[in-house]
């Protein structure tokens, strides 16, 4: 599965402002051995480094990370730095701020004035002088509130040269409209996958009309979310996978990518074999009938 046709280039590219990324990227959350939302054993350091280097070899040039992606002994940002610096010229690293974790792992949420410190934390860990893309990750408690002060603080850091492009994460259409009135937004990162509610489908289409990348997270995990992909894949997904000689994860990724040319994927894994499988999903093409079949069997979500 290491042929040229299985490289990340097979799924095409998209522009994040002045940055060109391949539509299949890589999510760094699982590199540390456990999701930041659940305990687990630290990852094998050399294996995580090897996965990152293999991702770049396969053509991945978009890596999604965060300073709060760490376990007891591993930091995703520091693994990225160790594995890939000096960074390839075309590599785009996206991170996110507003949530944070103190050294013991306890969560906290930044004030607008504290966002600069979070940006600088990412810069230090990654060993960079600027961040390519920074997403403002909205807390659940602000689903209906204003994000203007926080996004405005990031816009100031962009003007100061610490950030090249801005995005928003875990947002509503109202959040996006508020942010766009302050500064350009190049991407929306929201939970999405087979079985996503119709209002999120509408939001995905709106982003496409605006020329904004839509970047799903949990596209493979589905209902499993932070826990990862499990054994609860629907029979519809399993049936399509069998018919295509593919895995359920590949079907989920292919379905997501076919929602529009502006849709990017950032599947995460610490397993070298799963990495190759995920990247190869960019070559899987589902017919309109298969897409409709999956949609009809997941209309009310999973």
Active site residues: 69
Distance CA 154, CA 116 (A): 8
Residues 6+ apart with CB under 8 A from 299: none
Distance CA 98, CA 114 (A): 8
Contact 203, 188 (CB under 8 A): yes
Distance CA 18, CA 43 (A): 34
Residue 149 CA, chain-centre distance (Å), reads: 24
Peptide bond preceding 86 in cis form (omega within 30 of 0): yes
Q: What is the dihedral of CA 61, 103, 229, 173, to 10 degrees?
A: -70
């Amino acid at each position: 599965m290491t042929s040229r046709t299985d490289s990340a280039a097979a799924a095409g590219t998209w522009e994040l402002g002045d940055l060109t990324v391949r539509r299949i990227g890589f999510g760094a959350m699982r590199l540390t051995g456990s999701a930041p939302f659940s305990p687990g054993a630290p990852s094998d350091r050399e294996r995580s480094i090897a996965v990152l280097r293999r991702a770049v070899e396969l053509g991945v040039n978009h890596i999604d990370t965060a300073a709060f992606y760490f376990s007891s002994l591993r930091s995703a940002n520091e693994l990225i730095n160790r594995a890939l610096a000096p960074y390839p010229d075309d590599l785009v690293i996206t991170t996110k701020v507003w949530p944070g974790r103190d050294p013991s792992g306890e969560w906290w949420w930044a004030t607008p004035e504290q966002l600069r410190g979070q940006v600088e934390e990412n810069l230090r860990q990654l060993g960079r002088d600027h961040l390519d893309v920074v997403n403002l990750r909205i807390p659940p408690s602000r689903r209906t509130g204003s994000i203007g002060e926080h996004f405005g603080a990031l816009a100031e850091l962009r003007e100061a040269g610490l950030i090249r492009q801005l995005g928003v994460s875990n947002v509503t259409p109202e959040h996006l409209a508020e942010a766009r009135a302050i500064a350009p937004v190049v991407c929306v990162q929201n939970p999405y996958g087979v079985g996503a509610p119709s209002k999120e489908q509408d939001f995905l289409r709106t982003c496409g009309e605006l020329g904004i990348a839509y970047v799903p997270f949990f596209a493979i995990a589905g209902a499993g979310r932070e826990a990862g992909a499990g054994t609860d894949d629907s029979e519809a997904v399993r049936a399509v996978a069998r018919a295509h000689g593919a895995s359920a994860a590949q079907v989920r990724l292919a379905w997501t990518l076919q929602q529009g040319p502006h849709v990017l994927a950032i599947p995460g894994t610490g397993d070298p074999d799963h990495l190759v499988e995920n990247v190869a999903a960019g070559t899987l093409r589902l017919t309109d009938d298969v897409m409709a079949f999956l949609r009809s069997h997941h209309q009310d979500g999973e």
